[in-house]
Amino acid sequence: MLVNIIKSYRNTIAICDSELLGKYFEEDIFQLDVKESFYKGIKKTEQEVIQIIIDMKSEDATFNIVGERSTNCAIKAGLISEDSIRKIQGIPFVLVLM
């Protein structure tokens, strides 16, 4: 998985399964563009991703998470529940504003 922490007045955490980087998905009127300019970050293990989510959710961060493994980490970290995940062309994603 890749993690990109975009620092601003409110940190944005972009997390994606590495094999989805650079891909584009479309279904009906919805689009999911896993742009390298936004999602390309540092490769992390599952435990590292879970810890980053735990640490950053207490700092009022926003999260953009794409992919099966990445969304599962968000569930394990207690950030989201399974019913908050949406899919486009079978690709799970979630946006979280704290």
Q: Are 65 and 16 in contact (CB under 8 A)?
A: yes
What average pLDDT is seen over the chain? 96
pTM of the model: 0.95
Name the residue among 86, 87, 85, 88 with its Cα closest to residue 26.
88
Number of domains in the chain: 1
Q: What is the pLDDT of residues 44-86, one digit of tens each?
A: 999 999 999 999 998 889 999 999 999 999 999 999 999 999 9
Helical packing angle, 68-76 and 46-57, nearest 10°: 50
Q: Which domain holds residue 88?
A: 2-97
Q: What is the domain-level CATH number for residue 27?
A: 3.30.1860.10
Q: What is the pLDDT of residues 77-87, one digit of tens each?
A: 999 999 999 99
